[in-house]
Amino acid sequence: MTSVEEPARPGERIRDAARTRAEILDVATQEFARAGYDGARVDEIAARTRTTKRMIYYYFGGKEQLFTAVLERAYGVIREAEQQLDVDHLDPVAAIRRLAELTFDHHEQHPDFIRLVSIENIHEAHHIAASEKLGKIGSPALDVIRRILAAGQESGLFTADVDAVDLHAMISSFCFFRVSNRHTFGALFGRDLLDRAQRAHYRAMLGDMVIAYLTAERTTD
């Protein structure tokens, strides 16, 4: 009796392709974060995966498209977390703190995301601007912020008339700096911004800054 290997069923082929793409993206994320866009090599990514350079080009088209796919997935992770954030049952002060903590936790847990964004800024957001997917993804956090700001102003808890994008930038700036500038800040000031013993302090400080900004009395000229 002759043994003939049974061909993979369509569903299995789809799952295999999905696994292969995910594996390529995992390794590519590490390689781009480590070496930057210019320094990363598709040959190296292929060598660290169970595939070939030819297959990487088959799935993604080329190095530029692969980096764009890496960015799309990286941004997709935090956008999904923002979409799942449930703060409607909280008062505006607690809600905005929770949103700030979400960004704080995500950036700390995903240092490769910080590196990728830094690299993309060096390239003046070329890949993001060219990505139809990233152009549509927006930020669910902005919708959440707008709802919280409206509730806070309606209740009288928030005295400041604050733009949601400005507040998003304020929160992101602190969270991003803490990870991206950890080493230079430590070398200059002798303090590790990711010191576990100080984590609760920095997390609370972020919320305190945001609330202080939202509740500050504004003077008009």
Tens-place pLDDT, residues 129-171: 999 888 777 677 888 899 999 999 999 999 878 999 999 999 9
Write down the pTM of the prediction. Answer: 0.87
**Cα(171)–Cα(129) distance, integer angstroms:** 23
What local confidence, expressed as pLDDT, does residue 152 receive?
A: 94
